[in-house]
A = this chain, B = another copy of it.
């Protein structure tokens, strides 16, 4: 440790228990209260998201807040279309279960935003993404996750909507067609809280621990 480390925070057992709680109680939220989220709270979350790591320090993320009713309706229409197609593609024995799931909070979430990655960011000077250009998208995903955790710690819920046609979303939001669509997000105060994923509570799928996904070489 060098001298500059005198300022480094120490993460004690109490904090680490809290962090584990945060990770356990973070949910993908699809049911929101009507309560508005103060603009300053969301602004702060966006600033926190920008603390995320990024390849070459390129910060390739773009956050597009969506307030316009017609644009929100266009995104919702894309979701409905894609969800109908997804329903139609379900195995017969799972169709009823699929139909029962609530897969987005688009009608209720007070704050909605899309997230994109710029495909060839000038910032970062290309460092780290020559053989893996997908790292710009990956960096942006981490920015979303950073915001997600900070939101949950502030009592807010985030829902990630991926049942969308990326080209339709880009058209609805008038962003450059070469931007990489990462996801569309609903943010607000959740109607309930749980340490179990909604898909687990609905009987759709259950979680496994690390033993099932670890290999040794």
Q: Could you tell me which A residues sit within 8 Å of B by CB distance?
A: 1-2, 4-5, 7-9, 11, 15-16, 18-26, 28, 43, 46-53, 55-59, 61-68, 71, 82, 85-86, 89-91, 94, 98, 101, 103, 123-132, 134-135, 137-138, 141-142, 145-146, 148-150, 152-155, 160, 162-166, 173-175, 181-183, 191-195, 197, 199-200, 204-210, 213-217
- B47 touching A209, Cβ below 8 Å: yes
Identity of the chain B residue whose Cβ is nearest the Cβ of A63 in the assembled complex? B214
Residue from A4, A18, A154, A191 having most chain B Cβ neighbours under 10 A: A18
With A24-B51, A145-B145 as known contacts, state yes or no: A166 contacts B131, CB within 8 Å: yes
- A57 touching B204, Cβ below 8 Å: yes
Interface pairs (14), CB distance under 8 Å: A1-B191, A9-B22, A11-B155, A50-B208, A50-B210, A53-B197, A57-B204, A65-B217, A103-B127, A131-B165, A132-B162, A132-B164, A142-B142, A175-B215
Partner of A89, one of B101, B126, B132, B150: B126
With A23-B48, A137-B134, A200-B57 as known contacts, state yes or no: A124 contacts B205, CB within 8 Å: yes
Interchain CA distance A130-B187 in the complex, whole Å: 23
Identity of the chain B residue whose Cβ is nearest the Cβ of A123 in the assembled complex? B205
Interchain CA distance A181-B138 in the complex, whole Å: 12
| A96 CB, min distance to chain B CBs, angstroms | 13
- B217 touching A2, Cβ below 8 Å: no
Identity of the chain B residue whose Cβ is nearest the Cβ of A112 in the assembled complex? B217
Interchain CA distance A164-B82 in the complex, whole Å: 36
- Which residues of B sit under 8 angstroms from A216, Cβ to Cβ? 64-65, 67
- B128 touching A162, Cβ below 8 Å: yes
Interchain CA distance A59-B62 in the complex, whole Å: 26
With A65-B217, A67-B216, A217-B173 as known contacts, state yes or no: A49 contacts B4, CB within 8 Å: no
